[in-house]
Amino acid sequence: MTFTPTHVLISRTKETPVHLVAGPKGYWLYTEAEWQRDTTPAFEMRPKLGFYCRGQQVVGFRLQPVEAPATAVQPQAATVN
């Protein structure tokens, strides 16, 4: 399976592309390395509780959606004179 980031995990010093997957308590945040090795992700986001790393709550992290790539050629509407 190909890694396709859906969000960017942002900390005070780093931005990491991640893929969000629904988990039992919230959402798992897979990095590319974790995705390729098929291991359990270190980070988890729980609704209303925040971010967790290996079961311990952490602060200073936020998620930002990955912007969709712009298409090379935008179709233009026909003009009527």
> Looking at the domain assignment, is residue 72 inside a domain?
no
Q: In terms of DSSP H, where are the helices of the chain? A: 32-37
Judge whether 74 lies within some domain: no
35 token code pair: 């995705």
Q: Does a structural domain hold residue 34?
A: yes
Does some domain include residue 79?
A: no
Residue 77 has pLDDT above 70, yes or no: no
Tell me whether residue 14 is in a domain.
yes
| 78 in a structural domain | no
Domain range enclosing 29:
7-65
pLDDT tens digits for 3-53? 999 999 999 999 999 999 999 889 999 999 999 998 999 999 998 999 999
- 75 within some domain: no
The Cα 36–Cα 11 span in angstroms is: 23
Our CA dihedral for 61, 62, 63, 64, rounded to 10 degrees, sits at: -130
pLDDT reading at 68 higher than 70: no
* pTM (two decimals): 0.76
